[in-house]
Amino acid sequence: MREFMDATGANTADASELLYGVIGSNQDLRNWEAIMASDNPIDAARAATRQLYNSDRDYQLRQHADHGTARFADTLAAHSLQPETTIARGGNFAVHGTLDEARPGNFATTSLMAVSSTGLLLRGAGSTKDQIERTAWLFGFDTSRIAGMAVQTRVHDARLADTLSQFG
């Protein structure tokens, strides 16, 4: 982390997020030699993160405790978008709902998630425009399709829909 901070001038929070936060339990398959040799390692790290999560490489939850066990398929499914809990999707973002057990067919909560091209839930993207923009910046994700999810989201969460519509 110190080497990255010294090379880029990044603060501790940005360096930690760009190095570790965007990876989580996934395997980091980014080419750090190429990233550090680039003219702008921060932009190179963001681009490599975007490429990783939009590739068919086997990075998904490789560092999770269940990887390699009989439970892994269920764990991967639990960490991925499912039709019954996906309200809307646009690029590397999706509105994800948690089913309300007391009211079948309804969602107890909704949230905007950063997702991979395969539908792996990477992390919550935030609930304000600034938080969502920060998540997009860290992952190198495009926000151009976020506003398109507002209409589908409004039925379930008007406040989140209003935030999403700010990206239009």
Burial 16-40 (b: 16+ CB within 10 A, else e): ebbbebbbebbebebeeeebeebee
Strand ranges for the chain from DSSP E:
86-90, 93-99, 107-115, 121-124
What single-letter DSSP state applies at residue 60?
T
What are 123's strand-pairing partners?
114
Query: Under a CB-based contact definition with an 8 Å cutoff, are residues 164 and 146 in contact?
Result: yes
Q: Residue 11: is its pLDDT beyond 90? A: yes
Question: How much is the average pLDDT of 43-55?
Answer: 98
Q: Residue 65: is its pLDDT beyond 90? A: yes
The DSSP element (H or E) to which 2 belongs, if any, is helix 2-8
pTM metric for this prediction = 0.94
Distance (Å, rounded) from C-alpha 15 to C-alpha 29?
17
Distance (Å, rounded) from C-alpha 105 to C-alpha 130?
31
Using DSSP, state whether 36 is helix, strand or coil. Answer: helix
Q: Taking the alpha carbons of 67, 70, 72, 73 in that order, is the dihedral positive or negative?
A: positive
Q: Residue 106: is its pLDDT beyond 90? A: no
The per-residue pLDDT for 168 is 80
What residue spans define the domains of the chain?
Answer: 1-79, 80-165
Output the six-digit token pair for 19.
């190095």
The DSSP element (H or E) to which 43 belongs, if any, is helix 41-53
What single-letter DSSP state applies at residue 80?
B
- Per-residue pLDDT of 138-163, as tens digits, reads 999 999 999 999 999 999 999 999 99
